[in-house]
Amino acid sequence: MGYTGGTLPNPTYRRLGDHTEAIQIDFDPRVVSYRDLLAVFFSSHNPCARPYSRQYMSAVFTHSAKQAELAWAAAATAREHLAAAVRTRIEPLGTFTRAEDYHQKYTLRQYREVVGELLALYPNARDFTDSTAAARLNGYLAGSGAAADFARDLPRLGLSDRARQRVAAVCGGRLTAVR
């Protein structure tokens, strides 16, 4: 989680200027392609909606000309599928500034007992933010993901039985049956 796309040096949530709240995704293209990530992005929100503000606009910030080309193609596919104008911005990534610690893994942070266990495993704030376990739990607790993936992942995330039961109770009805 962080801020990009603007001109203000060192933006913060309280001093955002013309930046957009964004996530930066590190991925292994041997596991998942950029094209697949774009498909998930465009199918996970309404890319035709008018932005409420620059802070919350729909955007893809690209690292290269090839990423921009793929993003434009994904936007065209969304436009054809939705039969409407796509308002998602596609811009080159400038500087990405990480958001404040309290802004990271926001949904997960609502479950203090679970966060406490993860912070014991990852006492450094950046390690916690960057951990796969925290990322997966944050997504599952927000209702994203397939139930089968959750069942496979939960025992491997380093949580106590009590924390696993708490997470399972919350996620039980939120997750989809299929990937």
CATH label of the domain that carries residue 30: 3.30.1060.10
Distance CA 173, CA 50 (A): 31
For residue 13, pLDDT beyond 90: yes
Whether 16 and 89 share a structural domain:
yes
Which of 59, 74, 98 terminates a domain? The answer is: 98
For residue 120, pLDDT beyond 60: yes
Distance CA 159, CA 169 (A): 14
Whether 28 and 92 share a structural domain:
yes
Whether 93 and 36 share a structural domain:
yes
Residues in the chain: 179
For residue 178, pLDDT beyond 70: no
Residue 77 is predicted with a pLDDT of 96
Instruction: Enter the pTM of the model.
Output: 0.83
For residue 81, the enclosing domain spans 2-98
Whether 118 and 87 share a structural domain:
no
Which of 38, 67, 98 terminates a domain? The answer is: 98
Whether 8 and 80 share a structural domain:
yes
- In 3-state terms, what secondary structure has residue 59? strand
Whether 7 and 82 share a structural domain:
yes
Tens of pLDDT, residues 51-105: 989 999 999 999 999 999 999 999 999 999 999 999 999 999 999 999 999 899 9
Query: How many domains is the chain built from?
Result: 2
CB 141 within 8 A of CB 108: yes
For residue 145, pLDDT beyond 90: no
Q: Is residue 178 part of a domain?
A: no
CB 105 within 8 A of CB 134: yes
pLDDT: which is higher, 97 or 144: 97
Amino acid at 108: L
Residue 146 is predicted with a pLDDT of 87
CA angle 104, 14, 127 (to 5 degrees): 20
Whether 92 and 110 share a structural domain:
no
Residue 133 CB-half CA count within 13 A: 18
Residue 144 is predicted with a pLDDT of 87
Residue 177 is predicted with a pLDDT of 62
Residue 172 is predicted with a pLDDT of 78
For residue 4, pLDDT beyond 60: yes
